[in-house]
Amino acid sequence: MTKERYLKELWTHLSPVPERIRRDWMFDYEEHFRLAAEHGQSEEEAAAELGDPRFIAKEMLLGHRVAEAQSSGGSLRSVSRAVFAAVGLGFFNLVFVLGPYIALMGLLFALWAVSVALVLAAFPILYEGYFGDAFEFQFAIFAAMITVGLGLLLGATAYKLTRGFLRLTLKYLQANTRMLKGRKV
Amino acid sequence: MNVQFKKGVLDLCVLALTVWEDRYGYELAIAMSNKFEVAVGSVYPLLNRLTQEGFFTTYLQESPEGPPRKYYRLTPQGHSHLMALISEWRMFSVAVDELIKEGVER
């Protein structure tokens, strides 16, 4: 592969990264071709030594996503992007990374939904207690307090679990990026 | 050298090379590949990651022969990370040596 084609391919595959950062990253590779030529290496040799630009781009992209997710304090969106970048790398088995991630996300979502439902349940209970005749209003207030309390408690738990889960996911990805870097040696 | 061995120590080595002076990527790549039979191409992603993790900062500097070069400078954070890696490595290598002495060279 010629220098021009190599750099162009790397540039294209890095397209999800902001241009300023991309230019900075590309500099290493441009410099490598330049210095390799000065040391008497052909463009093909230098390109072969550097390895597949697609692969390199993905590796850097994953690193970028993980760093991004970390600086955002592990937000749901950024962690999910990092997970998808990891899956895009192709070494992570779709079933082993994406599967559990989505399954656990579903579970957490269910927890959130239940906690919201419990809080909202207070309204119909109060309504029934006041206008209906299924039970007394006093009982309705009592029951509403219980459901709201349970809902909030569950909500707090869901929040803690979600944060923890996102943090763990990030840790896992980081450990894996580290492993990948050593892989080709 | 065994791949499993290299995995862990590449970070340490590339950080160690920059303790006393800032170096440019090509220089680091060549130094690493000479010592470890590492593919030159695997050094750049390594540098990239260490930079993203805040262990390096980079800057461009004019070189006497031609266009500017991108230099890597160890940050204080990188320095303390390196120190932690080195002490880990020392413990590890001492333990391995002891076991070799005990098991093989008795």
- What is the distance, to the nearest Å, from the Cα of residue A76 to the centroid of all Cα atoms in its chain? 7
Task: Tell me which DSSP letter residue A96 carries.
Answer: I
The domain of B20 spans 3-104
Q: What is the ipTM of this complex?
A: 0.81
Q: What is the mean pLDDT of residues A160-175?
A: 87
- Assign residue B62 the CATH number of its domain: 1.10.10.10
Residues 119-178 on A with a CB inside 8 Å of B are: 177-178
Describe the strand order of the beta sheet including B69-74 as a list of residue ranges: B23-24, B69-74, B56-61
Q: What integer pLDDT is reported at residue A91 of this predicted model?
A: 56
Q: What is the mean pLDDT of residues A44-51?
A: 89
Indicate yes or no: CB of A51 within 8 angstroms of CB of B46: no
Q: What integer pLDDT is reported at residue A67 of this predicted model?
A: 83
**Whole-prediction pTM:** 0.71
Domain ranges of chain A: 89-180
The yes-or-no verdict on residue A178 having pLDDT over 70 is no
Indicate yes or no: CB of B48 within 8 angstroms of CB of A25: yes
**Smallest Cβ distance to B39: which of A27, A34, A49?**
A49
A182 touches chain B (CB under 8 A): yes
Indicate yes or no: CB of A185 within 8 angstroms of CB of B70: no
DSSP string, B33-70: HHHH---HHHHHHHHHHHHHTTSEEEEEE--SSSS-EE
Q: What integer pLDDT is reported at residue B22 of this predicted model?
A: 94
Task: Please state, in angstroms and rounded to a whole number, the distance separating the CA atoms of residues A136 and A126.
Answer: 10
Tens digits of per-residue pLDDT, B16-57? 999 999 999 999 998 988 887 777 888 888 898 889 888 999
A-chain residues near B45 (CB < 8 A): 56, 59-60, 63, 181
| B21 CA: distance to closest CA in chain A (Å) | 18
User: Which pLDDT band, with edges at 50, 70 and 90, does B94 fall under?
Assistant: very high
Tens digits of per-residue pLDDT, A142-166? 999 999 999 999 999 999 999 999 9
Q: What integer pLDDT is reported at residue A8 of this predicted model?
A: 94
Cβ neighbors of B3 (< 8 A, separation 6 or more) are A182, A183, A185
Read off φ and ψ for residue B58, nearest 5 degrees: -125, 155
Identify the residue with better confidence: A62 or A123.
A123
Tens digits of per-residue pLDDT, A88-135? 776 556 667 778 888 999 999 999 999 999 999 999 999 988 898 888
Q: Which of A27-31, A50-54, A123-127 has the lowest mean pLDDT?
A: A50-54
Return the amino acid letter for A114. V
Tally the domains of chain B.
Answer: 1
Chain A residue whose CA is closest to B52:
A67
Q: What integer pLDDT is reported at residue A115 of this predicted model?
A: 96
Q: What integer pLDDT is reported at residue A77 of this predicted model?
A: 86
**Smallest Cβ distance to B52: which of A63, A179, A182?**
A63
The yes-or-no verdict on residue A177 having pLDDT over 70 is no
A-chain residues near B7 (CB < 8 A): 178-179, 182-183, 185
B-chain residues near A177 (CB < 8 A): 49
Identify the residue with better confidence: B9 or A149.
A149
A13 touches chain B (CB under 8 A): no
Q: What integer pLDDT is reported at residue A182 of this predicted model?
A: 45
Interface with A, mutate which of B5, B35, B42, B47 (most A CBs under 10 A):
B42
The yes-or-no verdict on residue A27 having pLDDT over 50 is yes
Q: What is the mean pLDDT of residues A23-47?
A: 91
